Amino acid sequence: DIQMTQSPSTLSASVGDRVTITCRASQSITYWLAWYQQKPGKAPKLLIYKASSLESGVPLRFSGSGSGTEFTLTISSLQPDDFATYYCQQYNSYSSWTFGQGTKVEIK
Amino acid sequence: QVQLQESGPGLVKPSETLSLTCTVSGGSITSYYWSWIRQPPGKGLQWIGYIYYSGSTNYNPSLKSRVTISVDTSKNQFSLKLSSVTAADTAMYYCARSGDDYNFGYFDLWGRGTLVTVSS
């Protein structure tokens, strides 16, 4: 299985901050990576697919980059609605898809 | 718009089989891949497996021996069976759409989830 490792596990930030979350794959996944936002008690919501493609309706302050084994999710100016947990997910192969362990973005 | 809704027992006894159904409304189940994903309380997400509307499946290797996913296109539903459950299978179970032949592998539409507790 391809292992996905996110860092940091927890991030404290203020409204207006630029926030970056990193996701590393145990082997190359080309650009087959998605990012999700999950709020307490809710299902995850797709933000980014194919490493850098923004899902329809997602604010432009969210962006994704990377290829191979290292990827980042950036929030250009953190908004109150963005405090949540973020997950990366690889879908490189047809055989098994895996998620990172999550990054919780907290209010500083 | 397309919506997904999970249904099934919220309590399952150890060693028994967990059975859930996901109903797709507002759109057709055909031409898409459909997945089950779970999340133990306070923990991260685990993909369980997917099914194509035609019936082909793929399962997480760690659960493969216990999982069966099936589809009923006439009812616009797909289902999950997980056998020989233990307390470790206690989780929120989500159904999700995982793309079509051109955009495959990420989850763009999710159900609200259903909590399944394994306990005697």
- pLDDT tens track for A64-92: 999 999 999 999 999 999 999 999 999 98
In a structure prediction context, what are the per-residue pLDDT tens digits for chain B, which is 120 residues long? 999 999 999 999 999 999 999 999 999 999 999 999 999 999 999 999 999 999 999 999 999 999 999 999 999 999 999 999 999 999 999 999 999 888 889 999 999 999 999 999
User: Cβ contact (<8 Å) for B58 and A95?
Assistant: yes
Q: Are A56 and A93 in contact (CB under 8 A)?
A: no
Tell me whether strands A85-90 and A98-99 are parallel, antiparallel or unpaired. Answer: antiparallel
Contact (Cβ atoms closer than 8 angstroms) between residue B36 and residue B16: no
Count of alpha carbons within 13 angstroms of residue B112, beta-carbon side: 5
Rg (CA), chain A: 13
Mutation site, A56, A97, A99, A103, interface B, largest B CB count within 10 A = A97
Here the tokens at position B71 are 């589809």
Are the C-beta atoms of B116 and B12 separated by less than 8 Å?
yes
For position A1, what pLDDT does the model report? 86
pLDDT at A95 over 80: no
Give the C-alpha separation, B94 to A105, whole Å: 23
Return the pLDDT at A39: 98
Q: Report CA dihedral (A24, A29, A32, A33) to the nearest 10 degrees.
A: -10
Q: Would you tell me which residues 8-37 of chain A have a C-beta closer than 8 angstroms to some C-beta of chain B?
A: 32, 34, 36
Phi, psi of B24 (to 5 degrees): -100, 120
